[in-house]
Structure 1
Amino acid sequence: MAFDNLFNPIKIRGMELKNRVVFPAMGTKMPGDNKYVTKQLIDYHVARALGGNGLNFTEVCGVHGPSTPKGFLGIYDDKYIPGLKKLTDAIHAAGGKSGVQLWQGGMAVASFQKEGIILSSDTPITGTDSIIPGASIELIKEIVEAFGTAAKRAVQAGFDCIEFHAGHNYLPHSFLSSAFNKRTDEYGGSLENRARFLLECIKSIRNNIPEDMPLFMRIVAQDDCLENGLTIEETIEFCKLAKKAGVDVLDVSRGNFSSSAIKYEVPPVDLPRSFNVSNAHRIKKETGMITIAVGRINDPTQAEEIVENGKADMVVIGRGQLADPEFCNKALSGNVDDIVRCVGCNQGCFDGYVSPEVPYITCLRNPALGREAEYTLVKTDSPKKVLIAGGGVAGLEAAIILKHRGHNPILCETSTSLGGQFVIAGAAPRKEELKESAIAMGEMAKREGIEIKLSTPVTPEVIKKVNPHEVIVAIGSEPIKPNIPGINLSHVTNSHDILAGNTAASGNVVVIGGGLVGLEVAEYLAEKANSITVVEMLPQVAKDLGNLRKICVMESMYKSNVNAITNAKCVEIKEDSVVVEKNGDLEEVPCNSVIIAIGAKSRNCDDIKAYCEENKIPYYIIGDALRARRALNATAEAAEVARKI
């Protein structure tokens, strides 16, 4: 289909955008400790601009030196202007437009440093007798001025527009929301008073930029999970005031990091697509302002419908363009089936961002994220025949990259279909998109003309017949079968067989294992079983889930009345019960069905290794076949191997 509305130009003051797609501010960890723009960050933005995106926003850019942590972009000093200018020049050369998101982090700064934490009002530190004092009038004036001077630098750096971040519990939001703002002076109390600081910041920005330069503002539609928080009616009234002060465009987000509502900031697959669009639509109607919709928009048809039906004027496609920087070009040219879709797993983006072990964000669907220059596909001078054992996401990733580079991959899969455990995982509640993406990946491999052999396990005989130059082993993992008395009883099965539909469970069900798979099986069976009990050895369930997916899964577990016994070990399975050891005591949990979900182990590939070594065929073992882990690791290893062959 054509996406005439999505790719229709829009003019805002003196800035004209070629389409309605916005690549939003997202934390990357790519700026260095000194808060400068890096080549890595430039390459990251240029890839999306070349991919057809309309407007690129920087990640949050600190306007105030003492409260801008390391690893964030800075714009509080003239020394940052040259680097920011390199970024805007590069985006412009790639055919895009650039915006800077001006930011003061408030309480968020506490996650990165002990000093420079600025709050709207006195706030007790949990677990101590200490209080962080609210900002003084002098400090408020200092921050207002900092927004203005930062805006002036943004103009010098060549940005086409500015976004004022007034959401997500950062300092401006903490003034606006009575959930945080307990002041009794002119900056607290009524909505008019709570809006005062934000309006002063907006005017300070507006006074330091040209008349024809657009000013965007990121807001939350409402405060979720906060007592006495912002209502959407208050947000609308504030936006009307902001319009008079000089704001042109509303970027309507949702969420805060002070509660479980953080799940709305980087929404995982558990939240429905377009979940926040209705809020953007209402705000657009009641303010009359240009409005951007945000919230799991990862499909061009979905985006087109939003713009076409007037629900918003523009759309944010953030993680959708992390997964595929060519998202816009593919949609515009009609190659929709070739778009690599974000599946909302959060493994590489949010989980990677909050993990101190991960240097910068990445993506399960796009291992080249953050390595755009290094991972540019280079055609081979010496095409090779490469045998790939396994048609899951790791094997498919390797096959597609090899084909693009000019090699001849031959993919063999033991089962009758492609996609592997991603398809099985897609049977779990709210994870249909994983299954769809795995199936789509298989279809893409077929369109690329990759030779695929189903129902063909790779054996020494197969390797001999194919006679490849190199071999990639991506045969995945299989469920661990623990050595527990009663494990072979007829009412005992495993998580993979349940999700694959090979076996069933009913009545009173006990799930052994409280990790991701165990909990998903529990959810999957919640409406089919009389009761479900999860037995976990660790002090808590869901330890292997990312933060945001964990919030959603645990909420669902609570609603489904799934019982969990932690710090407990299954020591025996009987015909009608499971014997559990907890705190040195034994107890029996009555049950009709038992499901083992304690993890997976790599499938044995010793025969493949032995044949390759004996015949001097280079081979690589990737993904779960190397060690059972997250899908993120599987596609990353596939991408690395396929680029070096």
Structure 2
Amino acid sequence: MSTKFKELFEPAYIGKLQIKNKLSMAPMGPVGYADALGAMNQRLQEYYVERAKGGIGLIITGICSVDLDIEGLVRPGLPCPTQNPLAFIHEAYQMNERIHAYGTKIFLQLTGGLGRSALPGFATKFIAPSENENRFDPRIRHREMTIEEIKNMIQKFVMSAVVAKKAGFDGVEIHAVHEGYLLDQFAIALFNRRTDEYGGSLENRLRVATDIVKGIKAACGPDFPVSLRYSLKSCMKGIRRGGLPGEDYEEAGKDIEEGIEAAKILEAAGYDALNVDAGTYDSWYWNHPPMYFEDGMYREFGRLVKQNVDVPVILAGRMENPEMAIEALGDSCDIIGLGRQLLTDPYYPEKVRTGRLDEIRPCLGCHEGCLGRISNAPVSCAVNPACGREKIYGLVPANKKKHVLVIGGGIAGMEAARVLAERGHCVTLCEKSGSLGGNLIPGSVPHFKRYDRALVKWYQRQLELLNVEVRMNCEITAENISDFKPDEIITATGSKPIQSKFGSEAFAATADDILLGKAEAGKNVVVIGGGLVGCETALWLAQNGSKVTVIEMLKDILGGHGALPHMNHDMLVDLLAFHKVDIHTSSTVKSIEGGKVTAKTPEGERSFPADTVISAIGYRENHALYDELKDLDIPVHNIGDSQKVHNIMYSIWNSYELAREL
């Protein structure tokens, strides 16, 4: 074991329950992983068992509904202990036996519902503590719950905990006075305008949460651990308006003072641990941090809670840097929570324990594979295609070993080479430049894209460990391809920025040119194109002191809502406004001349001063080599951006699929 991180692997306690180390798997929603009876399906079981194998001390499952009928949740969707208790027990008990074989403990997380935070399509009954409009669609009105419904929900929590104990879970976690879900809506005065025993004072607004833990302790015994997912602060400027880190604003939801007082009330009621974060659905990027956050963004909140309660504090929020995690122990928390990092790499704990940090596959903070696709498919991971389908989509040895030539050292080429080599094929990867990484080389220049850089380094290390022959500065042509004597060929030659004229003669520098330092940005910068590349380049330049204008021909930047995961979209939009990036949509460039850009805008023709003009209007597939080779007498495959320009996730996923089956 690496002595450097020994403290992370000493035992922790929640109540009388001993956990083998101080690492916990943060709860992440198992939407789509329930069977027809509301039990955990086999894919979900394998998902949790894989994390136990990887060395985590405590698993806290994603949300399981205590009663699907409260909100008329669609089925099969979330697991539910009360839908068919016997079926739930049978499936979960078998899973927990396997998890316990690795010395890992597991809590079942229980939710009362979504309230006004229900994504349209997930619920058919719209309820809330008081009448409220839906977070995502203000046309949907949520009616006030009756006292009978509230008491029934509390009882369903107790029933679910009893089922969980019978199913072999080591404890339960209550979800949540957190993230603006139903129980948090009861706790926040902005959403709870009741005048009965469940509204008014802070004690009344917390009554649902305190009655739940008291009921569970009475039914399951005082030593059965009950933790609470708890947001100390709402980080809201108003309805659907989040407050950025470092921004000065008046808190519209739960402020720190009230949050600390609530934590004391919840501890006194009987909760054995507080699993701390911050935010609500109105400031959703706080609960699901994109790459634009600094690491450890909840540490200040964990510290405040820990100073005011005596029960253990669990803290996540991009805590995967083990040195940061050790600094946080005893100061901000007692147990480190790991969320998306365990989707990306289930074996993170064991790799840290044995000092193999360069083998940890990094989470990008992109949300594309996890929450970004949750409306259409179960949770997975952009850089780990086997996540959530460990047994049915893992890698198996190749039946017939082949020599495969991979042309192109971007993400798609490296993923194909990695998977092929892991399956036992002989792989040669040729990259015509002197660096691996492709479009991630310029794309990872901004500080907030640091995990993209880490992904490139991870691939480089994997190719070394797998003994892939990597040839740099090696350009493959139709004339020299026979020198390699391949059995099959994969072209992964990527894409190139689209270069267009603006006006009669003027060209703009590409975003890649600026990011790579081939062109220098001046004081006044105009970015043509408000997609992801254009907006992230604009943000980076604004953070570095330039006055930036973005001109986008469509009515919305970033492709509008839904093109990016919601939390990433909202935080980037807020950051652009915070850094005073001037954005003009439904606008087109007419000319670039005389140190200015002239554009047609909805307000008429306008000119913008420009020392530097940057074109970020997209990328075009570079499949010329594939076109030359596709008619050879051996199989030739085209993958990644050279097949279709897409995001990192599909470059990896499509390459994994091809290389897994070849």
Normalising by structure 2, report the TM-score. 0.91
Does 2:95 match 1:87? yes
Partners of 1:7 and 1:584 lie apart in 2 by: 61
Match of 1:417 in 2: 435
Distance 1:13 1:557, change over 3 A: closer
Aligned letter for 1:314?
I
Match of 2:247 in 1: none
Pairing of 1:273-312 with structure 2 (within 5 A): 273-307=295-329, 309-312=330-333
Q: Equivalent residue of 1:363, what SS?
A: coil
Partners of 2:119 and 2:552 lie apart in 1 by: 33
Does 2:60 match 1:39? no
Give the length in aligned residue pairs: 635
Deviations 1:177-235 (A, max 9, x none): 21211122222222122222211111112122133321111100112115542223322
Distance 1:510 1:276, change over 3 A: same
Match of 2:68 in 1: 65
After alignment, is 60-69 or 262-271 more displaced? 60-69
Aligned letter for 1:252?
V
Match of 2:241 in 1: none
Partners of 1:199 and 1:235 lie apart in 2 by: 15
Match of 2:279 in 1: 255
Partners of 1:11 and 1:505 lie apart in 2 by: 53
Match of 1:500 in 2: 516
Distance 1:174 1:506, change over 3 A: same
Deviation at 1:633, TM superposition (A): 0.2
Match of 2:148 in 1: 138
Match of 1:19 in 2: 21
Match of 1:48 in 2: 51
Deviations 1:30-83 (A, max 9, x none): 324743311111111111111111112221111123135221111223243323
Normalising by structure 1, report the TM-score. 0.93
Partners of 1:333 and 1:153 lie apart in 2 by: 37
* Aligned partner of 1:235 among 252, 259, 264: 259
Partners of 1:377 and 1:124 lie apart in 2 by: 46
Q: Does the CA contact (< 8 Å) of 2:444 and 2:450 recur in 1?
A: yes
Deviation at 1:336, TM superposition (A): 1.5
Distance 1:294 1:493, change over 3 A: same
Distance 1:463 1:100, change over 3 A: same
Q: CA RMSD in A?
A: 2.3
Partners of 1:454 and 1:113 lie apart in 2 by: 50
Pairing of 1:83-232 with structure 2 (within 5 A): 83-105=91-113, 106-109=115-118, 111-113=120-122, 115-124=124-133, 132-166=142-176, 167-225=178-236, 226=238, 227-232=251-256
* Aligned partner of 1:387 among 405, 408, 417: 405
Deviation at 1:384, TM superposition (A): 1.6
Q: Does the CA contact (< 8 Å) of 2:405 and 2:428 recur in 1?
A: yes
Q: Does the CA contact (< 8 Å) of 1:23 and 1:57 recur in 2?
A: yes
In structure 1, the gaps of 5 or more residues are: none
Partners of 1:109 and 1:478 lie apart in 2 by: 40
Q: Does the CA contact (< 8 Å) of 2:626 and 2:638 recur in 1?
A: no
Deviations 1:352-395 (A, max 9, x none): 22xx3x32222222111122112322222432211111111111
Partners of 1:561 and 1:340 lie apart in 2 by: 35
Match of 2:585 in 1: 566
Deviation at 1:161, TM superposition (A): 0.7
Distance 1:550 1:372, change over 3 A: same
Partners of 1:323 and 1:310 lie apart in 2 by: 27
Deviation at 1:131, TM superposition (A): 5.5
Does 2:520 match 1:512? no
Partners of 2:612 and 2:14 lie apart in 1 by: 62
Distance 1:394 1:517, change over 3 A: same
Deviation at 1:510, TM superposition (A): 1.8
Partners of 1:168 and 1:507 lie apart in 2 by: 40
Identical-pair percentage: 31
Does 2:321 match 1:318? no
Distance 1:51 1:530, change over 3 A: closer
Partners of 1:452 and 1:641 lie apart in 2 by: 20
Aligned letter for 1:444?
Q
Q: Does the CA contact (< 8 Å) of 1:30 and 1:40 recur in 2?
A: no
Q: Equivalent residue of 1:111, what SS?
A: coil
Distance 1:374 1:219, change over 3 A: same
Q: Does the CA contact (< 8 Å) of 1:429 and 1:520 recur in 2?
A: no
Deviation at 1:483, TM superposition (A): 4.8
* Aligned partner of 2:551 among 535, 542, 546: 535
Match of 1:244 in 2: 268
Distance 1:150 1:444, change over 3 A: same
Aligned letter for 1:137?
I
Partners of 1:129 and 1:60 lie apart in 2 by: 27
Pairing of 1:458-537 with structure 2 (within 5 A): 458-486=476-504, 488-489=506-507, 492-526=508-542, 531-537=547-553
Q: Does the CA contact (< 8 Å) of 1:6 and 1:304 recur in 2?
A: yes
* Aligned partner of 2:617 among 593, 598, 615: 598
Partners of 1:507 and 1:586 lie apart in 2 by: 23
Does 2:443 match 1:443? no
Aligned letter for 1:450?
V
Distance 1:86 1:107, change over 3 A: farther
Match of 1:335 in 2: 356
Partners of 1:67 and 1:277 lie apart in 2 by: 35
Q: Equivalent residue of 2:307, what SS?
A: helix
Q: Does the CA contact (< 8 Å) of 1:22 and 1:316 recur in 2?
A: yes
Partners of 2:605 and 2:630 lie apart in 1 by: 50
Deviation at 1:628, TM superposition (A): 0.6
Partners of 1:110 and 1:520 lie apart in 2 by: 27
Distance 1:176 1:586, change over 3 A: closer
Partners of 1:11 and 1:114 lie apart in 2 by: 37
Deviation at 1:482, TM superposition (A): 2.6
Partners of 1:505 and 1:108 lie apart in 2 by: 42
Distance 1:130 1:641, change over 3 A: closer
Does 2:472 match 1:454? yes
Deviation at 1:267, TM superposition (A): 0.5
